[in-house]
Structure 1
């Protein structure tokens, strides 16, 4: 299993990380649009993205996935399963999930891959901001390039990296309808198209990052782990 810790982050240069991001996006798009039935994963997270010997990403662990048929594009549940920090607000708070729930999770994973950071959560006001907050604040201040993992920053094309960060923040929009589809995500990541400006994401920190089963009264706890793969 690969882990973006200090000793292994150098194995994944910018080119490879960008390829991993694109590969994950294509995998999710297949689940949402190109497979015979639409699949909502519901627990997309770094540890469910496995890397083969060529560092190609594979989406794993479909134990919480839901299959949609026909024109169905969203559903409600009273039994919320998944990992806090990767859950969209509407799923964590109201049990509503759709393809846009997976888009939100992808946005979190994208920021993790680019930054090589864990999301460190604390109620102490003197502690560093969590990853989503940090990404938004740096973007809002015109300093988004500072989010990039220092081990790859010297060889990282600034325009391509900033485009990825912008797309990641768009995936984290509070309102599901404002998030792009995975087909739009893939297009924006692969082309020099004009990209909308993101709005501030919902940031509600909590220190529990474990996989959980709960009810829609839960809070969206923003806790993120580093990129893992096998």
Structure 2
């Protein structure tokens, strides 16, 4: 005589596309016939792992969808919509534990949109988060540094702005941005010059403007 009932099949199906309000996936149990308790425990653990995977997939899909909304809003100059969209991107990207590089981009765009819409303190937090995630991912660090410099320049915080510019510019030089994107780099140098002027560093500001002018003259048309 068998001491325990014969292990029976536990029929489980998962549908990652089926979601409750709020985007939370739910689990369909088709049937669970009379089983050994250990078998049920294993099935429950397995189902929990699959459910976590489904939740991650849903969060990633939500992040991607709102990312497209945010990017379209930026192209249209609608920074309020962009800010709200990228807020959702960052939440879902972080919950889904997406790769650091993708999360860095989400926090960077959220920080930019916060800054443009004058949420300065929160913008700085998001841009610093983007910087740390870029560092973790081995990505270029100058994007977040330049935005942090601009954020402080817009608030008239010249010394803080200069500190960020002076961290970013050597990285930009090393990356060859002056050659690859001379007009964009000229813009950055002119913004740096404005920062230096605000600090009373007139001679340094003139040097930065001169470099920017040289870059612009070297661009055909």
TM-score by length of 2: 0.25
Greater Rg, structure 1 or structure 2? 2
Higher RCO (CA-CA < 8 Å; seq separation 6+): 1
Please report the TM-score for the alignment, with normalisation by the length of structure 1. 0.25
